[in-house]
């Protein structure tokens, strides 16, 4: 039986999700290029390492139990796509669940841009 070999892009995506799920800020940031960009579902952009770092710091603080179940990922030739189911308890709003994809541009083995397409779903819908 042939063993599945992950591409470098897929390994990076898995490493990023593993660090995110541990709330390992340094591990998350190690996955990013020197000039990263995050694009939220509403179009809001975070640019540069300092702004991206603050975004993850805030998310980890607001969702102390936040976790993404990686449902699938594929990547090759400097691009990657991951579908995940996010669940966590927001400090003020309570339980939040969202499902969607993240489309990634990968440069020099690091994430240059993430375009996030997650949408909130009613509990247990995903």
What's the whole-model pTM score? 0.92
**Tokens standing for residue 56:** 């993850």
**Tokens standing for residue 54:** 């603050």
pLDDT tens-digit series, residues 1-53: 345 799 999 999 999 999 999 999 999 999 999 999 999 999 999 999 999 99
Q: What is the CA radius of gyration of the chain?
A: 14
Separation of alpha carbons 126 and 116, rounded Å: 17
DSSP sequence for 27-42: HHHHTEEEEEEEE-TT
Query: For domain 8-120, is the CATH number 3.10.450.50?
Result: yes
How many other CB atoms sit within 10 Å of the CB of residue 53?
Answer: 17
How many other CB atoms sit within 10 Å of the CB of residue 40?
Answer: 14
Q: Map out the domains of the chain as residue ranges.
A: 8-120
pLDDT tier at 115, thresholds 50, 70, 90: very high
């Amino acid at each position: 039986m042939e063993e599945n070999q992950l591409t470098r892009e897929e390994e990076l995506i898995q490493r990023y999700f593993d660090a995110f799920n541990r709330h390992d800020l340094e591990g998350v940031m190690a996955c990013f290029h020197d000039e990263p960009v995050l694009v939220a579902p509403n179009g809001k952009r975070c640019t540069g390492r300092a702004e991206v770092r603050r975004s993850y710091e805030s998310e980890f603080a607001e969702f102390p139990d936040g976790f993404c179940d990686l449902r699938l990922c594929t990547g090759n030739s400097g691009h990657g796509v991951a579908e995940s189911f996010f669940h966590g308890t927001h400090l003020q709003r309570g339980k939040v669940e969202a499902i969607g994809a993240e489309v990634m541009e990968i440069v020099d083995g690091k994430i240059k841009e993430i375009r996030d397409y997650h949408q909130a779903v009613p509990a247990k819908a995903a």
